[in-house]
Amino acid sequence: LNNNPSRYKITLSGTVKSSKINFDPPFLMLMPVPLDVKTETAITIIPQDYLRQSQIQVELPEIELEDGVRICPFSVQFPEGQDIVLSSDGTNKELICVISFRSSGPVSFSGNIFFIDEEEN
């Protein structure tokens, strides 16, 4: 610099990590219960590589009963909140999610509950 004709070349390299969430346990099986009785279990959501705060939203499935009525027998609660937070050591805090099921009619279901972050991942 300072009228020196030398050129400087800077090379940058890096790795981009996609944020993701894992679950413990990886799948959920709720016990059969009598009609109109709630069954529930807690799962741990393990966020990875989130660099800024995000919030988890949940899409619950509707189920069609034998008489054709559609219901949403599932509910979810996040006792400690549903924000993915970056802690001071650079990791993401785990979230607890309680999934409940209650139905007034007989039903059997195998399907997906979707957990979506603010980036729609």
Render pLDDT for 67-109 as a digit per residue (tens, 0 to 9): 888 899 999 999 999 999 888 888 899 999 999 999 988 888 8
Give the pLDDT confidence score for residue 59 in this predicted structure.
Answer: 95
- The mean predicted confidence, pLDDT, of the chain is 88
Instruction: For residue 109, tell me if it sits in a domain.
Output: yes
Look at the pTM and tell me if it is higher than 0.75. Answer: yes
Instruction: Give CA–CA dist 39/46, Å, rounded.
Output: 23
Nearest residue to 75 (alpha-carbon basis) of 57, 60, 95, 96: 60
Domain count, the chain: 1
Question: 62: domain range?
Answer: 36-116
Q: Cβ(61)–Cβ(115) under 8 Å?
A: no
Residue 7 lies in a domain: no
Residue 11 belongs to a domain: no
What sign results for the dihedral spanned by CA atoms 99, 59, 47, 22? positive
20 domain residue, yes or no: no
Does residue 104 sit within a domain? yes
Residue 41 inside a domain? The answer is: yes
In a domain, 103, yes or no: yes
In a domain, 58, yes or no: yes
